[in-house]
């Protein structure tokens, strides 16, 4: 199964990705996570990417495409993958098409999550992440037992720069300007699956599995 997840930030792509990759036994390829790993490794490309992400802007296409190209060269993607956060514009979608064509691979589905801006802003700006172990919380939906302290390791909970409200608003503007047109790019392919991202995790997953079952 080769899947792309689309939709604005904070719409639930990451949560659903965890469920799908386990079900289909395929790797979850998140360009955001790859960039964060590069941050921690203190690489030059990681520093460049971080400067864009902290401002809520997209990392330049040449950097992102090269990282994806390297990832698709690994053995674990031969039987399928799930992309989360890529492609984010038409140029990246075209680059991915070329990469897949080189390998004679075809996409199975492009899952498009939808939700209101108000819900997205509330979800993201309320998110807190453990500085030590990376566990994720939400001040309203999933608060820690002790405010500011991770339940799992006792680490400090922080709000990432790209989760702050002003950055979220900028991310949404970029999404509508640059990423939403990618849905149009795939529209004629018959691969688009529109999903209501405001539902419960269980209902969202049930809807996705139903449609994927019908497509295969």
In terms of Cβ atoms closer than 10 Å to its own Cβ (0-12, 13-18, 19+), residue 86 is buried
What letter would DSSP give residue 149?
A: B
Give the span between the Cα atoms of 159 and 149, in whole angstroms: 12
Phi-psi category of residue 137: left, alpha or beta, with phi > 0 → left and psi -120 to 50 → alpha: beta
- For residue 4, which of 96, 84, 80, 106 has the smallest C-alpha distance? 84
Whether 82 contacts 28, CB under 8 Å: yes
Active site residues: 13, 88, 127, 160, 171
Peptide bond into 74 cis (omega under 30): no
**Structure tokens, 213:** 């079952």
Cα dihedral sign for 210, 203, 185, 66?
A: negative
């Amino acid at each position: 199964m080769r899947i792309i997840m689309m939709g604005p930030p904070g719409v639930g792509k990451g949560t659903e990705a965890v469920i799908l990759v386990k079900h289909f036994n395929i790797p979850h390829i998140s360009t955001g996570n790859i960039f964060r790993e590069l941050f921690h490794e203190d690489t030059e490309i990681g520093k460049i990417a971080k400067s864009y992400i902290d401002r809520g802007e997209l990392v330049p296409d040449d950097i992102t495409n090269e990282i994806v190209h390297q990832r698709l060269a690994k053995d674990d993607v031969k039987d399928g993958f799930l992309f989360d956060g890529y492609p984010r514009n038409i140029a990246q979608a075209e680059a991915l098409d070329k990469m897949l064509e080189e390998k004679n691979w075809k996409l199975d589905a492009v899952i498009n999550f939808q939700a209101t801006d108000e819900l997205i802003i509330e979800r993201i700006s309320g998110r807190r992440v453990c500085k030590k172990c990376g566990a994720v919380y939400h001040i309203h939906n999933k608060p820690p037992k002790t405010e500011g302290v991770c339940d799992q390791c006792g680490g400090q909970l922080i709000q990432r720069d790209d989760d702050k409200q002003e950055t979220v608003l900028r991310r949404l503007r970029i999404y509508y300007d640059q990423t939403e047109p990618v849905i149009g790019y795939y529209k004629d392919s018959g691969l688009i699956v529109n999903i209501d991202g405001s539902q419960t995790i269980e209902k969202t997953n049930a809807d996705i599995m139903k449609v994927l079952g019908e497509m295969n």
